[in-house]
Each structure stands twice: as structure tokens, then as C-alpha cells.
Structure 1
């Protein structure tokens, strides 16, 4: 489910495809695909990760009182990865529990991207040296 790395302000950030992680088919179209940057803290260690998603309609902030616990939907839908259900206007938003989506072993594999050399820009310099003016 790891699909590559990106250069984010001079840091190498691994990118994972959530569709593949959840056993779904790869998206047929990447026209609206986005990479969402998240920070996961597991065992007091922070991992920055890019998550490939189908699309992003809006970025919002929710107060804790706007978030309800995950619903009990029976055995057909696994709620172990759902942190809660957010409410905005009359719409519900599923909030993932990112620390539970990825195991410690998976994050350890992803963290090995620190050894990957920084991608070069078309001018032949690394991105971290571009802003040294």
C-alpha cells in the first residue's frame, strides 16, 4: 500500500494509498486525488505520512463537542478505525483513528524512507538547497 515518497519542504515523506490499505481496488481516475499530510504519534514517536485520497471537498475544524463516538452498526461494518462521527450543518463526517489504521510494524517500514535520497529538481539541485538564497 506504500506508493512512493514526496519532497515536503526538504523532507522525504512516504505516501500510502488508503484504498490499497483497506483492500479496495486502486482508483480508476486520479483526476481529483490529493495527498493529505498527517502526523501519527505511536509509542511517543511521531511519523509524518502522506495519505493518497480520492478527493478533498473541504478542510474543516471541529470542536470536541461536534464529534460523537463511532456508531454501533452491527458486525458488517468494522468501526475499529473510526474515531468518531463529526457533524457539520446536517452532514456527518467519518473521522479516522489514524493511529489504529497503521500498525507499529507498518510505520516502522514506512519510516525507513529516511534513507531515501532527496529527489532532485529539474535544475539538478535538491529541494532542500533551493531556498538558500
Structure 2
């Protein structure tokens, strides 16, 4: 159960799946706006989003998890996260189909990530919480963004947006 801990989480949806990230990583939640494209970027990197004058690399979490990309809707949001990495904090926007709520999970609610029966590689998952209507997958954002991804995205976050 590495990475999963008791506390407050922001839950969000991708398709029929529900994920959650620690609320302490979420700087703000924005209404979706199309990011400015970056040439030669990884397929899941949508571009840069202007967040209060800072160009923040914005990733399509669906694509990063191997799901099909979808067109944004009125419910689509960008979660602006500050993710602690080994040597720095990476500011990153993650596109979610919708954001549900901030909720608390206790340590006894969080189960270890299953090794089978899950569509995604379990090393991206820090735990799961069983609910009456299914599971909430606790996503381990630093592990989801491999060191290669973090280096790539870190380079983009230093780009100033040309007006």
C-alpha cells in the first residue's frame, strides 16, 4: 500500500471509473480550456495551460492510462497539481471528465491495489476504496509520471507563453 495514506482526497471521473488524488497535491480546479499545443511532445501531453500567468503542462490522464481520448464537455475540468518529485515540485494540469468531491478516507478503508482484475498497471495505484457503487482508485501521481515523463514535463513548465 505504498503511497496511500489516510486523509482528504479529491475524487474525479474518467469515463465510468472514479479516481482520487490527495487534496494536498491539488492547487486548484479549473474549467476546461484547450491547452496551447507543444510540438513533439508525448501523446498524452495536451500542451500548456495558462494558470495565473504561468504556463503549466497539461496532460490527458485518460491517454496516460491507456484509455481512449474523448472530446471535452461542460463537466470537463483541469486539476492543477503540485506533485513532489525527488528533486523538485512539478506543476501539472490533469484533465478529468468531471470532478466529484473532496472526501476523507480512513486507513482501514484503503485496501492495497489488486494485482489482477484492474485495467491499469497496479504500480500507478496506491490503493482502492470500496464503495456501495464500486471502487475509488487512489492514484499515485509521482509513480504515474515516470522519471522520464517528469523530466519531459519539467522542461515544458519552464517555457514562457508567447502572447
TM-score (normalizing by structure 1): 0.73
1:1-16 mapped onto 2 (5 Å cutoff): 1-16=44-59
1:82 and 2:150 aligned: no
Residue equivalent to 1:23: 66
Shift in Å, 1:81: 1.0
Match of 1:65 among 73, 95, 108: 108
Range with bigger deviation, 13-22 or 54-63: 54-63
Q: From the CA coordinates, give the structure whose radius of gyration is larger.
A: 1
> Judging changes above 3 Å, is the alpha-carbon distance between structure 1 residues 4 and 76 closer, same or farther for their aligned structure 2 residues?
closer
Taking structure 2 as the reference length, the TM-score comes to: 0.61
Number of residues paired by the alignment? Answer: 119
| RMSD across aligned positions (CA) | 2.4
Structure in which a larger fraction of residues adopt strand? 2
Mapped to 2, the partners of 1:24 and 1:77 lie a distance apart of: 9
Return closer, same or farther for 1:52/1:117 CA change in 2, 3 Å cut-off.
same
Unaligned runs of 5+ in 1: 121-133
Q: Secondary structure at the match of 2:105?
A: coil
1:20 Cα deviation after fit: 1.6
Structure 1 ranges of 4+ moved more than 4 A: 74-77
